[in-house]
Each structure stands twice: as structure tokens, then as C-alpha cells.
A = this chain, B = another copy of it.
């Protein structure tokens, strides 16, 4: 694979311009080229305790389908994260299934008999030791959240009006940006910071208020960011590998995209869900994310907001926070 090929590939071109490859000499690197050139020190290891490994039943061709989810660190949603580790360690998720796929919205999994109009059996009993969270916990309560955000992110310090971080230009919050590798929002007034519903983020299904969900029902975003769910439901993590196994599933024909009883055979079985740190050392996957506090991330975000690589003719001059995806990569020599 030669360099010109890579340049074209990373430009996310909507044709595949073989001819253009021969002469293309980009004056500006594409966002993915900036990431590829990041020094090792800019990558942060994700603790194995924060990795959830979900094995779905093999696909129609018999190929394995593994999904890896990164759980959120403090100060976000830690009660639900506690519950999710508890469910995994009780092997509670094993034998559940993907029960809902709603186009441009969410894929949801858990007990097919939990609050499902298509249920044919009784709900699975929940394990002991679950925390019951409150609605206030949808927002991380932090004194002077704006100062906290700025202290975390050098980009905010450098230019609090920088549109690349949607500090301006976000219809859903006063301020948006990144903390410790996660997209977050805050108000400019009251304290509190909350994670944002971007593509691939994982949340906790719940019943009507004041229910906040236990973590038995989980979903991931498979379309346009449903940011109206921010502060209305708990976000607990994101899919960092195998997203295509959840996003390309057949859509359900029932209300809200649930599979109907007639299409129950489309419910993808969940074989196992494990916390990576509980796996044998040789089987533990390892991942790292690009520090959102690094200069590489700043250059990456700037390049996304102002595309100058060869395919583009008119840079936007801004970007939605959900289009600035935090780079995550698998570490090959794990174990």
C-alpha cells in the first residue's frame, strides 16, 4: 500500500479516485494522518476493568462477532457502571439477546422479556447488590464545572470561543468539549457536566421517570446523535470495536424497532459478556485512546473542522462535537 493510496483512503473521498492518486500530494494532512503520526506518549491505556467484551452468536456465515465496550470513568455514571460490572460478573447477560434495532436511532439488548410487548416469557430475576441511581446522577455534579472543563482541556484555555470544539454552535448545551477522552457538555450557568449521545455511545434503558434503569437493558446509538436524550438517561460507555455487528443488524418491524414475535428469530443471541480484567491474561484485549488533552488531538479536531486535504474545496470552519470522534486503537501486543 503506497503513500498516495493512503492519502486518498484517509480523505474519506466519496469516489475512489485512482487517477487522482498518481498526482495527489496533500499540502495538509487529513485528520487520520495526524492521528497516525501521534507520538506514543499521546496515547492513554484504557484499564482492563473498563473494557466489556460481548460475544454475540456467530453470523450467518459462521464468523464470530465480538463487540468491545469502553465503560466511562469517574465522575460519570459510576453507579450504573458498578451495576454493569456486577451483571457481567454474575453472567447475567449471558443468554440474553439484541431485541430492538430502530433505524437512525438505537440498537438495544438485554432480557427479551423485560417490558417488551412481544414478550413470551417471564422477566429474568436481577442479581443482588445493584445500586439504585437518581436522576441527578445523569449529570456529574462538579463545583465550577466550566473551570473544571477548562482545566482539563488546553484547547479551552487557548481559545474558549474556538468553534472546533463546538464551544459555540451547539444547540444542545452552552459548552461542549472533551474530558479524559469523552465528549461532554455543560451549561455556562449552573454547575454540572454530562456525557453526550454521539454515535456508538452506550446508555442504560429505563422505564418512565423516576426510574433510571439498572444496567440490565443497554443500547447504542446507530444514527444521528439523539442529543435530546442527554440528561434524560444514563450514558455509561461507548463501543470501541465491533460496532458494525450492532449497527448492521436487521431493523425490527415492531413499535420502536422491537422485533415482533413473528421475527423473534432475528434476535441476535448474546453468548457472553465479560469484564476484560476477569479474562485470562492472554485473552485480555488492550486498547488505548488519543489523549483529548494532547496537541495531536487539538490538531486533529482543527483538521476536522477545517478540511483542507485534497478532496475538499470549502472547509466548514466548525464541527459538531459528535463528528470529532475520539481515536481509539487496539494494542496488538496485549496480554
Residues of chain A touching chain B, judged by Cβ–Cβ distance below 8 Å, are: 5, 8-9, 12-20, 24, 60, 101, 103-106, 108, 114-117, 135, 138, 163, 166, 168-172, 198-200, 203, 205-209, 211, 213, 217, 219, 222-233, 243-244, 247-251, 255-256, 258, 304-305, 307, 310-320, 322-323
B12–A256 CB distance below 8 A:
yes
Residues of B contacting A233 in the complex (Cβ-Cβ under 8 angstroms): 14
Residues of B contacting A314 in the complex (Cβ-Cβ under 8 angstroms): 138, 230-232
Cβ-defined partner of A208 (8 Å) among B172, B217, B243, B310: B310
Copies of this chain in the oligomer: 2
How far does the alpha carbon of A307 sit from the alpha carbon of B116 in the complex, in Å? 23
A203–B14 CB distance below 8 A:
yes
How far does the alpha carbon of A14 sit from the alpha carbon of B172 in the complex, in Å? 20
Residues of B contacting A198 in the complex (Cβ-Cβ under 8 angstroms): 224
> A-B pairs with the 5 shortest C-beta distances?
A169-B171, A171-B318, A20-B208, A9-B255, A17-B207
A208–B171 CB distance below 8 A:
no
Residues of B contacting A256 in the complex (Cβ-Cβ under 8 angstroms): 9, 12-13, 16
Given A17-B208, A206-B14, A256-B16: A224 in contact with B320 (beta carbons within 8 A):
yes
CB distance from A136 to the nearest CB of B (A): 10
CB distance from A64 to the nearest CB of B (A): 15
How far does the alpha carbon of A311 sit from the alpha carbon of B213 in the complex, in Å? 13
Cβ-defined partner of A207 (8 Å) among B20, B103, B163, B307: B20
Of all chain B residues, the one with the shortest Cβ separation from A322 is B224
Given A14-B108, A106-B14, A320-B172: A304 in contact with B228 (beta carbons within 8 A):
yes
Residues of B contacting A12 in the complex (Cβ-Cβ under 8 angstroms): 105, 256
Residues of B contacting A163 in the complex (Cβ-Cβ under 8 angstroms): 171
Contacts beyond the supplied A8-B255, A14-B106, A222-B223: 14 A-B pairs with Cβ under 8 Å? A14-B203, A15-B213, A16-B117, A17-B207, A103-B244, A104-B200, A170-B171, A172-B320, A199-B224, A224-B320, A225-B323, A228-B312, A232-B312, A248-B249
How far does the alpha carbon of A138 sit from the alpha carbon of B314 in the complex, in Å? 10
